[in-house]
Chains A and B, each alone.
Chain A
């Protein structure tokens, strides 16, 4: 085995990269399309409930449907704001006026993952 083969064997082949990229992009595109009719509604209502308690950024929400052989998994990924940004009892975020820039919020935010709404 030449030294080049040695290096190459640990790298992903272009075909493998193609497969992985397709799986990721298509999982996103399938949500609300090939899924059951209630999926988009479910997503909206879930978000509405969570938004009642925490200030969530719609752009920091990721919904993914994985189609498997005999069961599919709905994964909802919501990034929560920093603790001091959570709503006060009066319903308004503590520092609504002086939000940190998005990137910073992302770094400080906690990620909440709700896995496992399964359907046949």
Chain B
């Protein structure tokens, strides 16, 4: 079973943190003991998206440096059973992450948790490398846009060459695409790359399509993973993706434009 999952993208701002928070919460909702780790050293944000920013005392780097115990740094989510957050440091730089240090902490976490989700920083440098190095499975977060697709291809190359599994000649890191901020109406008009095109270009399996949604901003404003907003299309799309990740056969939704009847338009305005 895959234990360590990295959310990675190469390009910044495509939805890794949003997706890490949603995915970790989704797995915990299914009863799996799950921890989500912020690897974006210096730019702590996962705590805000998860709504636990005021409960951070110790962080990932403190634990690596032996300044705190793992249990002191882990924050237990107040809404969802089985869900924990390991925040990162806001003051240090990415050099504070060492391969040995990360290895040590992950080994401890894997013993206790069913899933460890690593929220990667942008880029293909040290921080991103550390986040993906120990992964068993990678979720490539991509927007239907040229630079994001190209950067995803680069990060796939890094996974295939520089991850621990690649270096040690083990089974390769399994990879799935999470296409986020998808706008079916713009796709219909030929303004945006469609799912199938992105899949073909990257030759990768599809985990899910998350539509562009106002619910994401709404959720992050109040510090709630969007997957808990079960009425929103983005929340539902993440729930579906978690199901697929667990091997369920879930049909893809939100890839076609909504029907534009008068009734629908009225509904949308009130939503």
Contacts and interface: CB of A to CB of B under 8 A. Distances in A.
A98 B31 CA distance: 76
Contact of B190 (A14, A21, A25, A29): A14
Contact of A13 (B145, B146, B190, B201): B190
Interface in A18-50: 18-19, 21-23, 25-26, 29-30, 33-34
A19 B157 contact: no
A34 B160 CA distance: 7
A33 B156 CA distance: 10
**Contact-residue bracket for chain A:** 10 to 19
B149 interface: yes
B150 A22 contact: yes
Q: Is the interface of A mostly helix, strand, loop or mixed?
A: helix
Contact of B146 (A18, A29, A30): A18
B150 A19 contact: no
A16 interface: yes
Most chain-B Cβ atoms within 10 A of its Cβ — which of A14, A15, A69? Answer: A15
Given A33-B161, A34-B156, A22 B191 contact: no
A58 to B, nearest CB: 24
Given A23-B201, A34-B160, A67-B203, A15 B150 contact: no
Nearest to B202: A26
B123 to A, nearest CB: 17
A116 to B, nearest CB: 20
Interface of A: 13-16, 18-19, 21-23, 25-26, 29-30, 33-34, 67, 69
Interface of B: 145-146, 149-150, 153-154, 156-157, 160-161, 187, 189-194, 197, 201, 203
